[in-house]
């Protein structure tokens, strides 16, 4: 008789701690993330299994040891299970107040940090964040903020020791301007012809090729990922999935659910419920 696989689960919430945009705990038995970007740093530790991912076109594999995974904002990556047992992970999404975007190039060069002390600090921070209600003045909130300060200190020490390389393809000015257009219109979107006109009537295929060369994915995939990121924030803020679909630029709730499942590994409704339990 075949062994029964454990069910995939996702739990996420936004703690009242400055610098942490989201806490995510997940178990995946069979999941593959599409190529996407985050607008935050993703700091990950594994509690079981192995995961394989590509960052900026280079593949990496990691299992449960003393390694911490750091994925920088704005850089295309994917992820997938590689064994039947899947993997369990805990992720902190950190904003630019914790790590400035100027360290992106250093993180792209080496996203795997073999540092037992750093992993222990990240683990301790997750434990402190386990109490989801942390009112101002609470001892637990002070502990979480203190542990975050030590995590930030060690991360910056790792990244500052590397050459401050600039991330991005050479001569990527056109792609940068298109990205700025997309970022400014995440919910409402922009058509290819309109974007071409805005950028000096550049040929549409040249525009797409330039963007893909610079960021590792086509403009439509980048925009879908940004909409999913917006949907995550709105769901954690308490908005209903049907309202989130419209606010984040999806056609309807079914459209949101399809893309959200591919990017996050669960439905918007389950994601929202996990934040309240």
Note whether residue 165 is domain-resident: no
CA pair distance 127, 90, nearest whole angstrom: 11
Note whether residue 168 is domain-resident: no
Per-residue confidence (pLDDT) for residue 132, from 0 to 100: 57
- pLDDT class for 64, splitting at 50, 70, 90? confident
Q: pLDDT for 72-97, tens place per residue? A: 999 999 998 888 888 999 999 999 99
153 and 23 in a common domain: yes
17 and 127 in a common domain: yes
Note whether residue 1 is domain-resident: no
Q: Which of 106, 136, 160 is the last residue of a domain?
A: 160
262 and 142 in a common domain: no
User: What is the tally of helices (H) and strands (E) in the chain?
Assistant: 10, 9
Q: pLDDT for 159-174, tens place per residue? A: 987 655 555 554 478 9
Question: At residue 48, what are phi and psi to the nearest 5 degrees?
Answer: 180, 145
267 and 201 in a common domain: yes
Note whether residue 138 is domain-resident: yes
* CATH number where 212 lies: 1.10.10.60
156 and 188 in a common domain: no
* CATH number where 36 lies: 2.60.120.10
Note whether residue 4 is domain-resident: no
Note whether residue 186 is domain-resident: yes
Task: Tell me how far apart the terminal alpha carbons of the chain are, to the nearest angstrom.
Answer: 35
CA pair distance 147, 202, nearest whole angstrom: 49
243 and 197 in a common domain: yes
Full domain range(s) for residue 183: 173-276
Note whether residue 3 is domain-resident: no
58 and 145 in a common domain: yes
Q: Which of 160, 187, 218 is the last residue of a domain?
A: 160
Count: domains in the chain? 2
204 and 76 in a common domain: no
Per-residue confidence (pLDDT) for residue 139, from 0 to 100: 63
Rounded to whole angstroms, what are the CA distances from 40 to 23, 99, 260?
A: 12, 9, 17
Per-residue confidence (pLDDT) for residue 6, from 0 to 100: 60
Note whether residue 251 is domain-resident: yes
Structure tokens at 102: 């100027």
239 and 129 in a common domain: no
110 and 78 in a common domain: yes
Q: Which of 134, 160, 186 is the last residue of a domain?
A: 160
178 and 154 in a common domain: no
Q: pLDDT for 174-203, tens place per residue? A: 999 999 999 999 999 999 899 999 999 889
Rounded to whole angstroms, what are the CA distances from 124 to 2, 16, 22, 48, 261?
A: 37, 17, 16, 17, 29
Structure tokens at 128: 């402190």
107 and 17 in a common domain: yes
């Amino acid at each position: 008789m075949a062994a029964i696989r454990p069910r995939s689960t996702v739990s996420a919430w936004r703690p009242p701690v400055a610098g942490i945009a989201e806490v995510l705990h997940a178990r995946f038995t069979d999941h593959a993330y599409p190529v996407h970007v985050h607008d935050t740093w993703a700091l990950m530790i594994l509690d079981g299994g192995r995961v394989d991912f590509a960052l900026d076109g280079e593949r990496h594999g990691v299992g449960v040891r003393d390694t911490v995974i750091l994925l920088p904002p704005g850089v295309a990556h994917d992820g997938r299970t590689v064994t039947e047992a899947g993997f369990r992970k805990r992720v902190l999404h950190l904003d630019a107040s914790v790590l400035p975007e100027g360290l992106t190039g250093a993180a792209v060069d080496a996203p795997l940090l073999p540092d037992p002390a750093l992993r222990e600090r990240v683990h301790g921070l997750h434990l402190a964040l386990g109490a989801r209600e942390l009112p101002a003045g609470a001892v637990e909130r002070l502990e979480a903020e203190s542990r975050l300060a030590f995590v930030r200190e060690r991360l910056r020490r790792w990244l500052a020791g590397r050459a401050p390389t600039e991330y991005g393809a050479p001569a990527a000015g056109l792609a940068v301007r298109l990205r700025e257009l997309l970022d400014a219109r995440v919910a409402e979107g922009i058509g290819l012809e309109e974007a071409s006109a805005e950028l000096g009537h550049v040929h549409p295929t040249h525009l797409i090729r330039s963007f893909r060369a610079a960021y590792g994915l086509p403009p439509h995939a980048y925009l879908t990922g940004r909409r999913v990121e917006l949907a995550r924030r709105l769901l954690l803020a308490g908005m209903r999935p049907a309202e989130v679909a419209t606010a984040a630029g999806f056609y309807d709730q079914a459209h949101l659910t399809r893309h959200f499942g591919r990017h996050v590994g669960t439905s918007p409704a389950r994601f929202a419920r996990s934040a309240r339990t």
